[in-house]
Amino acid sequence: MDTAFKINSLAVDKDETLLLLGTNSGELLCADPDRLNIVGRGQGHAGDIYALAAHPVQPLAATMGMDNFAVLWDVGTPSRPRQIARFNLRKASPWNDLETIHRHPSQSQALCFHPTLPRIATRSANAGLVELDYGGGAFELIHCSRFHDLEDLTTVRYVQDGARLLSGALGSVVLSENGLILNRWQFIDKNVHWFEPVGEDVYLVASDSRRVFLFDLAAGEIRVQGPVLTRDDLEHVTFNPVSGRAFVAGFDRNVHEIDPATCAGMGVVYAAPFKMRWIKTLRREPETALLQCFDGGVYKVDLGRRQARRWLRHTPPALWSACHLDDGRMALTGEGDEIVTVSYQLEPGSRTPRFHIASRTSKGTDASYTKRMAPAPAGDLWLGQTSGQLIRCAGGGHRVVADLGSAIRDVTVTAGGERAIACLENGMVCSIDTGTGAVAATWSSGGEPVWALALHPDRDVVAVGERNGHLFFLDALTCQVLDTGPESRRLKRVKWLDADTLLYNQIDRVYRYRLSTGKCEPLVPSCGNTVEDFIWDAAFGYLVLVTYATDVVLCDLETGEKLFTSADQTDYSKGLAWLRYREDDAYPLDFITFGRSGTGHLFRIHSNKCVSLGPVLPGMLTRHYRVEQADELLAV
């Protein structure tokens, strides 16, 4: 298995007898929505398919890939989906651009069919809105127009009879016709992801503001701004006209039911294994939902019983965390029940490392995954689980030290080993007595998720970062606030460079904070998407970043200048770790990346570049769960 089979998008045909899926490697899959088995497949793109649409009447599908091609498919014979037309969206340029706007890589969902005409609307390579006609058997460009300034076009939908289009971007919604703006509305300053019709000219609008809006197009107003529902980006909303029920899915891994009239939450109806984007409920089975999950799978969920009936997944277990052990080995873990320790040494007469699996250790659970792992002074490993469990692994055994009641986002252990500090999805920071497992002290952000922390190298001071808020400096033993630091936005990592200097990301940038002066300064400029992790080497003056867009970025540690950008893997990257060779003649700057590919990828900094040296021990984690489809009703 590999991430080529990861499913990124889904749609259901007009009769709800065909499930359409878009994959990481550019395939359109046709599946039976009842049994979730693949019945046909076709190669359409050189890369991910994040945008997928089914025609409302005819047996047609459309895909838009990150290769910037739009493809029209005949799916009348699901066993053999056939390409009808292709269009290179890199050739489309908005007529109203006053200067050249360069291509903008995107995971946009902007793709839809016209309800009556042979026409689709989608996104150009540089985020313009494109309409294409396919009535003559090939795509012909009708127009390409820019409606959202320099922001990405995230979603689009024809309204009513198709004469007009709704499009969404970062906070803005535009109504247009034939390439001209009719009206514009400003929503909260977050991406608008989906327009779901609930009545004539009335839509539920999903937004990264973690709320749903009820938008009345006829009246030209936002009728309801719903409350914050999720703890991370809210990606999709679906409404079932038979049952009258609405559900949302997003990055906090929960399916929430909402009142379609008030957009208020009515509770969590299903907890998925990973974050989600696409969700559809069936008209013929209103209690059934189909979910696309970022673990690469599709889940068929019984909403009444809040359980998964079936799932289809053919991707490896993801790696989320790595740390060095005192004996020179490296421990890695993530999804599933295993902690894998890896040893490495140089090939005889070579400067290329050879890797071996040294051991596989159970952590006692596969019902959640390890978000972060931290070593302790005694050689133990402390695991922060998405279930809220804090697990201690030592001497080949494991035990649950504490259950903190919310997903653990990061964990560390004090220098003396007497306390473990964990930050949680619910906004809590807990200082736990490592001997008794008792929570000795807590601090609360007030509900904003706390995503990252870092223990000071010399003092019992821990820096913690809110998802959107501020950095705080807490006493590691009492959790009392010692100081409030700078603003934080989508902060994934915070690390002490030295006793006075803190490095942290803010979305797609890296900042430097001086503890002694309280001064914050930008270090690395925009990297195009969220920085997931960073490491550095002070002796050679390098800083290495890995981003959500799977880019490895080499920077100068002092100035932040970007020296080189290279591609990592074909799926999301989650972390970085240096290799620490024991041989004196080893190359000094080798590191691995890891993430959803389920293995490490070896890189070497050479001549101011990051050079890929290939994968490391593919399929490191072998014991995994939810990989094949289930044949009976099982709880997830």
Per residue, what are the HEC states of 213-278? EEEECCCCEEEEECCCCCCCCEEEEEEECCCCEEEEEECCCEEEEECCCCCCEEEEEEECCCCEEE
Taking only the tens place, the pLDDT of each residue in 44-53 is: 999 999 999 9
Domain ranges for the chain: 3-312, 363-526
Q: Phi/psi zone of residue 193: left (φ > 0), alpha (ψ -120 to 50 degrees), beta?
A: alpha
Residue 14: HSE in the Cβ half-sphere, 13 Å Cα cutoff: 11
d(CA 183, CA 147): 10
Average pLDDT of the residues of the chain: 93
The share of the chain scoring above pLDDT 90, in percent, equals: 86
Hey, what CATH topology would domain 363-526 get?
Methylamine Dehydrogenase; Chain H (2.130.10)
- Equal fold, 3-312 vs 363-526: yes
| pLDDT score at 629 | 43
* pLDDT single digits (tens) 294-327: 999 999 999 999 999 999 999 999 999 999 998 8
pLDDT at 636 over 50: no
Mean pLDDT of 576-593: 93
Contact 152, 183 (CB under 8 A): no
For residue 123, list its beta bridge partners: 129
pLDDT at 623: 58
Local structure of residue 492 (DSSP, 8 states): -
Q: Is 436 exposed, middle or buried (0-12, 13-18, 19+ CB in 10 A)?
A: exposed
Lowest mean pLDDT among 10-14, 220-224, 344-348, 426-430: 344-348
Separation of alpha carbons 623 and 510, rounded Å: 36
pLDDT by residue (tens digit) across 309-318?
A: 999 999 999 9
CA torsion 552-558-560-562 (nearest 10°) is -50
Residue 545 pairs with which residues in a beta bridge? 534, 553
Estimate to the nearest angstrom the gap between the alpha carbon of 522 and the chain centroid. Answer: 25
pLDDT band at 630 (very low <50, low <70, confident <90, very high): very low
Q: Which fold has domain 3-312?
A: Methylamine Dehydrogenase; Chain H (2.130.10)
Q: Please state the rounded mean pLDDT for residues 625-633.
A: 39
> CA neighbours within 13 Å on the CB side: how many for 80?
0
φ, ψ for residue 90, nearest 5 deg: -70, -20
**Distance between CA atoms of residues 153 and 169, nearest Å:** 5
